[in-house]
Structure 1
Amino acid sequence: MEISSEKRFILCKGLDCLIGMKEFEINEIKTRTEQDYSIARSFEKYMDNGFSLEVAKERDIQKVIQEIKELRRLREEINSLKNHLLLIPQFVKLQLNTN
C-alpha cells in the first residue's frame, strides 16, 4: 500500500507539531533553577564532580536536540516519494513462513 499525499501531509504536519513542542521544551529547560533539579542535587555527594546546574541543563538540552534530529529524519523519510508501506496480514506471514 502506498501512502497517499494527504496522509503523508498529515503525518508531516504532526511531526512538525512534535518538533515545535520539543523546541518549546528546550526553552523551558533553559529557565530551570536548582529547585527544579532538587532530586539530582540530593545525590550530588555521590557524583564525581558534584552537581552543576549548567551541566544538568546542557545534558537535558542535548537529549531533546537528539529527539528533534530523529523526528526531522523521520519527517524526511515520510515526505520522500520513494517510500512505500507494505502491509501483510498475520495469516499470510504464517503461511509464508511454513512453506
Structure 2
Amino acid sequence: MADAANLEEKIKRLKKTLSEKREKKSGVESSVELRPFRKQLKRLQRRRRVLLAFVQRGTKVKGEKSDKESKPAPKPAVEKPAAEKEAKAGQLNS
C-alpha cells in the first residue's frame, strides 16, 4: 500500500502544477505546453487504478512480492538407512 500512497502524493503534486501552469497561460500555447503534464497525470492515475484493483482482488502486482504467495521452504530429504538402500539395489540387480 506504500506504492498507492506514493502515487497519491505524486498525483496531488502534478494536479497542483497543472493548475498553476493553467493560470499563467491561456490559449493554444498553454494546451501544447500542458500536454506532457496531462499525459503523466493520466499515466499515474491509471497505475493507481490498476494497483488498487490488484489489492482488492488480493493478487500479486507484477514485480511485487506478497507474503501470501511466497513458497514455503522445501523440506530436507530424509536419508533412508543404508540397509534399505542396499536391499533396493539388490532387487534391481537381480
Q: What TM-score range do you get, normalising by the shorter chain? A: 0.3 to 0.5
TM-score (norm 1): 0.42
Higher relative contact order (CA 8 A, sep 6+): 1
